[in-house]
Amino acid sequence: MNINIYYGGRGIIDDPTLFVVNKMQEILEELRVSVTRYNLYECKNTIPTLPQTLKDADGVILATTVEWYGIGGYMQQFLDACWLFGDKEKIASIYMCPVVMSTTYGEREAKLNLSTAWEILGGLPCSGICGYIDNTVMLEMNEQYIKIIEKKAENMYRSINQHIACFPASNQAVKQKIAVPKSTNLTPQETEQLSRYVSDDGYVQRQKQDIQELTSLFRNMLIEEEMDNEEEYLMPVKKAFRPRAGFQACYAIGIGEKKKKLILSVDGAKLECGYGTGGKTDVEMQLSKSAMEDIVNGRMTFQRAFMSGVMKAKGDFGLLRMLDQLFVFEAQSL
């Protein structure tokens, strides 16, 4: 028989949970049980790989200490790893005994949380131990407390050895209906490999950096494509142009986040349009890309955009008013 102990406390000398775990391990070894201890504070960088250690286990002891609130971060990480990377079929045959000692309030809730979590994983719960201990010496010197610990260890051994059945729990039914994690279609070997990658901080950091670099690269490509498309709006503007004999003017239109402005140079029947960054202009305008789309699709005029504040302009406002006569955009049918 193999039993694994997963200790989620901080390993301090006067931790009452350590005394309980040591005593249970002593009793189990006297019963010829192979006991393996995993101190989670020593394995904090490899916790995602620990579900692999459940493969040969017949039972587990989940032990933690409530020092201020809850079961603690290390134990929660381990349970998360069991949910994400653990072999649920194997866990379904493993008995679990929760051990929670508290130096403050909340040992009963923490014990219940461990039992509930193990049942949701599909495992089999055993009767556990919980208690409030403000002085470890009191625990070590009390023969009645030690007998309770010994009895719990023996009961766990008996439950595993006799394969004692457990009544179905409602939280398992809930798991089957609504709490099933999204399927990743991974084999147990692939899941095991994934857990190793997750536990490798260097690998995770490299992956994060690669993702950030790719995200930045594609975002910049999209922005540059949008900002620097020097063909955009040229055809609609040329199509909408209505020449005016003897009229001369130069307009510069800044559109959204584009680096270059749309330059419209009118000389009688001649129109030159393109994107540029400088030069002398009579009127300069700035508007959003959506406002420019409304104008070229005939849903709005330059004058209306200016009067409503959608477009800002400076220069000769007499020439600004001529824009709607020089460029007549037809409404696009939907």
Which spans in 162-301 are helix H? 170-177, 188-199, 201-227, 234-240, 289-296
What is the number of other CB atoms lying within 10 angstroms of the CB of residue 88?
Answer: 14
Report the pLDDT value the prediction gives residue 216, as an integer from 0 to 100.
79
Q: pLDDT tens digits, the chain, 334 residues: what are they?
A: 999 999 999 999 889 999 999 999 999 999 999 999 999 999 888 899 999 999 999 999 999 999 988 999 999 999 999 998 888 889 999 999 999 999 889 999 999 999 999 999 989 989 899 999 988 888 899 999 999 999 999 999 999 999 888 777 776 665 565 545 554 555 656 665 666 665 666 766 777 888 888 887 777 666 555 545 778 889 999 999 999 999 999 999 999 888 889 999 999 999 999 998 767 899 999 999 999 999 999 999 999 999 999 999 999 988 999 999 999 998 765 4
What are the CA-CA distances from residue 320 to residues 48, 82, 262, 324 (Å)? 66, 69, 15, 8
The structure's pTM equals 0.58
User: Distance between CA atoms of 213 and 93, rounded to whole angstroms?
Assistant: 44
Asked if the 234-326 domain carries CATH number 3.30.1050.10, the reply is: yes
What token pair was written down for 285? 């305008």
Report the pLDDT value the prediction gives residue 109, as an integer from 0 to 100.
93
The domain 2-180: what is its CATH number? 3.40.50.360
Report the pLDDT value the prediction gives residue 192, as an integer from 0 to 100.
58
Report the pLDDT value the prediction gives residue 91, as an integer from 0 to 100.
92
What token pair was written down for 151? 């009895």
User: Distance between CA atoms of 86 and 91, rounded to whole angstroms?
Assistant: 8
Instruction: Delimit the domains of the chain by residue range.
Output: 2-180, 234-326
CB burial class (10 A; 0-12, 13-18, 19+) of residue 118? buried
User: Distance between CA atoms of 264 and 250, rounded to whole angstroms?
Assistant: 6
Taking a C-beta distance cutoff of 8 angstroms, is the pair 62, 99 a contact?
Answer: yes
Report the pLDDT value the prediction gives residue 188, as an integer from 0 to 100.
58
What is the number of other CB atoms lying within 10 angstroms of the CB of residue 13?
Answer: 6
Cα angle value 279/281/287 (rounded, 5°): 105
